[in-house]
Chain A
Amino acid sequence: MKLVAITSCSTGIAHTYMAAEALEVAAKELGYQIKVETQGSIGAENVLTAQEIKEADAVVIAASTTVNKDRFAGKKLREADVNDAILRGKALLESAATAEVYNAKGAAFVEKRAAGKSMGIYVHLMTGVSYMIPFVVAGGISIALAFAFGGINSEGAVASTINGLGGLAMGLMWPALGGYVAFSIADRPGLVPGMVFGMMASQMSAGFLGALAGGFLAGYIALTIKKIKLPKALMGLMPILIIPVFSVLVGGVIFKLFIGIPVGWLNQVMTDWLQSMSNASGVMLGAILGAMMAIDLAGPIGKAAYFFGVASLTNLVQGETSLIMAAVMVSGMVPPLAMALSSTIIGKNRYSNEQRESGKSAWVLGLSFISEGAIPFAVADPIRVLGSCTVGAAISGALSMIFNCGLAVPHGGFFVFMIPGAVSNVFLYILALLVGTAVSGVLITALKKPVEEAVN
């Protein structure tokens, strides 16, 4: 059984929180899932998302104040005094299953807008992220496994199959992100255009920012088309024909023009710029490449840096290594490792449960040079996350140059460190990685504020 609840009391100082804790304890004992939003003097915390309310079997409100119930239209709703929750939490939760369905007039109409505009955008983002995370984890871990079994080229039938599966799962993270952001905005009609634009973003290497833009575009276009009034005979065609076709066509053209073309241009500019930098001092170049690898996490800028690194491998003779490729790889490993460090060790209370879980897999993804591992964090808090990661990655890139580290292969992360001849100055290379990771990890931990979730 899945429940959502709100607790609130007149002064909002003590009982709101006692009741929340009591309900969480009671739910645990009953084997229920619960999320409790507290509306106290600190403001609303642990706020329920539209998605969570939708998935809940019933709603419990334990309050001695008036709580806005607009969000709960159509849900089983059990109301009680805040003291009931504290003293008789179990009985209260059990009674929720048989509660009557709340059905205030007009409530359904305001449901979507209840959370307010700015809050809404955050909810959409988080919905997208929570659907995306499992794809990143499944894909990333599979790819890492393939490296472990078959080396960085995933040699052998088993490794190459696992690698293929991982690549597929990883590739689906983009449509999942775009699709579910749009789904959160416009419900079902948003899903098709959102997934299509997410896929477009992936194909044009627009990165997660591109996929996000696609998701929002899709959601609002679907929402707009949904509102168009058609003759009754045609209304039936709305959900299966008109909305999907027009949202994809109209949105697709807009996306191509306003996202695709600028992204392609940005990628080209960065590539050209790097070419002109070829003669710059090594340290400077390392720092720049490092920063580029982190600033958009596998977006157009990171891609330019990565291919600049790969290109530097082509002129190598057997036994040589590339300083540029080494700087690129080490700095691409920093973002996921730094986020893993912050979310699972030094700054746990700054992340939601879900993020802490994805932080664990980010360790593996980071060690495998899969920068995408940091994306779930970046989507939720782009400026702080990307900023912190960029600083550390630039430091790692520069250090790799200073230490004269070289790399002979284009991928593989930690798995190539131990291969003789793949990395030169491998111990200093690891040091460069550690320093950048520590800097980014500490920085993001310092910048983020603790979130209030019952961390027990």
Chain B
Amino acid sequence: MEISEVLLEELIVFDVESRTKDRAIRELAAKLENTGYVTDIDAYLAAVMKREEISSTGLGMGVAIPHGKSGAVAKACVVFGRSRDGIDYQSDDGEPVYLLFLIAAPEAADEHLRILANISRKLIHERVRNELRQAETAREVYQALS
């Protein structure tokens, strides 16, 4: 199974325009419309926001992984957004976020969850984060994460 099956090429946003957390999440979520992966964007967004209430998914290191598990998700997928200027994400370390992975997970177990787990693991490595911040093409994004 390939990363490209979960992180579709059209779900990569190289220049996130929004500068605040809520807007950035909505901007990325809008990408999921008409993909067939999420049947009800609002219901899915509600799940994401509910998760954010528990604790910020901005962990520091310039990375945030907002995610929602919802019946409105037909198939696991992820939207990758990269911000040039940084997003005010209310992260634990107070630093802006440059790499945003918006994950949509279905209620039922899904084999794609394993890929999401692997992507999460990769983000711990500084080298991967640097490559993602410099990536210009979808190919480079996949390479950084593989």
Contacts and interface: CB of A to CB of B under 8 A. Distances in A.
Interface stretch (B20-28, B35-43, B52-60): B52-60
A418 interface: no
A42 B69 contact: no
Contacts of A87: 59-61, 92-93
A40 interface: yes
A38 interface: yes
B82 interface: no
A441 B143 CA distance: 29
A15 B55 CA distance: 12
Contacts of A15: 57, 59, 65, 120
A21 B51 contact: no
A22 B93 CA distance: 17
Contacts of A41: 69, 105, 109, 113
Interface in A3-17: 10-11, 13-17
B59 A18 contact: yes
A83 interface: yes
A350 B7 CA distance: 24
Given A41-B109, A83-B92, A16 B117 contact: yes
Chain A interface residue count: which class?
Answer: 20 to 34
A25 B57 CA distance: 21
Interface in B51-85: 51, 54-55, 57, 59-61, 65, 67-69
Given A83-B55, A87-B59, A14 B120 contact: yes
Given A42-B117, A454-B121, A14 B60 contact: no
A64 interface: yes
B116 A22 contact: no
B114 A18 contact: no
Nearest to B122: A21
A264 B29 CA distance: 68
A452 interface: yes
A17 B118 contact: yes
A115 to B, nearest CB: 21
Contact of A18 (B51, B92, B105, B123): B123
B103 interface: yes
A353 to B, nearest CB: 17
B44 to A, nearest CB: 13
B114 A13 contact: no
B113 A13 contact: yes
A20 interface: yes
A384 B51 CA distance: 42
Interface string B113-146: 1101110111111000000000000000000000
A14 B51 CA distance: 12
Interface centre among B60, B61, B69, B117 (most CB of A within 10 A): B117
Interface centre among A16, A20, A42, A454 (most CB of B within 10 A): A42
A86 interface: yes
A17 B69 contact: no
A42 B113 contact: yes
A12 to B, nearest CB: 8
5 contacts: A13-B120, A16-B117, A18-B65, A18-B121, A21-B125
Interface of B: 51, 54-55, 57, 59-61, 65, 67-69, 92-93, 101, 103, 105, 109, 113-114, 116-118, 120-125
Interface of A: 10-11, 13-18, 20-22, 25, 38, 40-43, 64, 83, 86-87, 452, 454
